[in-house]
Structures are given as C-alpha cells and as structure tokens.
Amino acid sequence: MDLRYLTPDFAVAPQIALEEIAEAAKRGFRTLINNRPDEEVDASLSHEVLQAAAAAAGLAYVHLPYYPGELTADLIEGFETALASAQKPVLAWCRSGTRSSHLWAMSQAGVLPLDEIVQNAKNAGYDLGALVPMMRAKAASKTAET
C-alpha cells in the first residue's frame, strides 16, 4: 500500500486493493474515505464490496465519489463533514491519491496555514498549485463566517 501522509492522522493513497483494507486496519487506520467513482473501477472494487470489507475489518467507511474535474462545493462540504466526524487516523484514496489530496486541502483551507497545506501535499508528491486560488477563497469565506 502506497501511503502518503498529509498529516500524522491523515493519509492518501492510490487505489487500494481489497486485501489492503485489512492491512489498513492493522496499520491503525480507523476510517476509510473512498473518493473513487464506481465507474472507474472493476465491480470487484465497487464501493459496496469495499464497504463490506471495511465493516469486516472494523473500520468506518465513507464513499464520496469525486469525478475528475468536478470539485464541487457539495463534495468539499461532504468531505469536511466526513473528516470532522471520522475516527482518526483516516485513509482516503482515489486513482492516484490526487483527488483525495485536493479534498483534504480544500477542507483544511482556513484551518491550517495555506503554506503548510501546500508543503504537506508537496512532501507527499502532490502539487496543489492550481488549487491555491480556491483555497484562498475558501479560507477567506471561513474567516468571514467567524
């Protein structure tokens, strides 16, 4: 399993295999967030199959499909809600981990310093440069709400 930690209690990964769910539990993860749409995977990796495996391993499971190019406010809000209520540590995945890193970054805008978000993702192999304007706007909206 190719784990890429963005914080000590949050990692992303490229698509995980069914047998890696039990490995994730053994590594101490408590919640799994699947950002991969079922249309992108074989039926053996559908969210229903992965959800059943997560339940068998004693893990919480959330399916928030993120279609390429469709980073919506509802999806970001859903990810924020899932992350806020998740038992930590959390493992999220998609095809390469990029979309999961984007959702994490947007959920952290206004929570963590922007430079820290970008650097954490860079350290994990993800370039968030194109998201910086969206993260700034998200952080500004959170600041305006308080």
Which tens digits make up the pLDDT trace of 89-134? Answer: 999 999 999 999 999 999 999 999 999 999 999 999 999 999 999 9
Segment 19-40, tens digit of pLDDT: 999 999 999 999 999 999 999 9
| 37 cis-preceded (ω within 30 degrees of 0) | no
Can you give the pLDDT at residue 93?
A: 97
Pairing relationship of beta strands 10-13 and 4-7 according to DSSP bridges: antiparallel
Place of tokens 């954490």: 120
Can you give the pLDDT at residue 143?
A: 72
Mean pLDDT of 58-66: 97
CA pair distance 95, 13, nearest whole angstrom: 8
CB 60 within 8 A of CB 34: no
Which residues, listed in sequence order, are joined to residue 12 by a DSSP beta bridge? 4, 92
The 3-state DSSP class for residue 55 equals: helix
* Domains of the chain, start order: 4-145 (3.90.190.10)
User: Per the confidence metrics, is the pTM higher than 0.85?
Assistant: yes
Can you give the pLDDT at residue 145?
A: 67
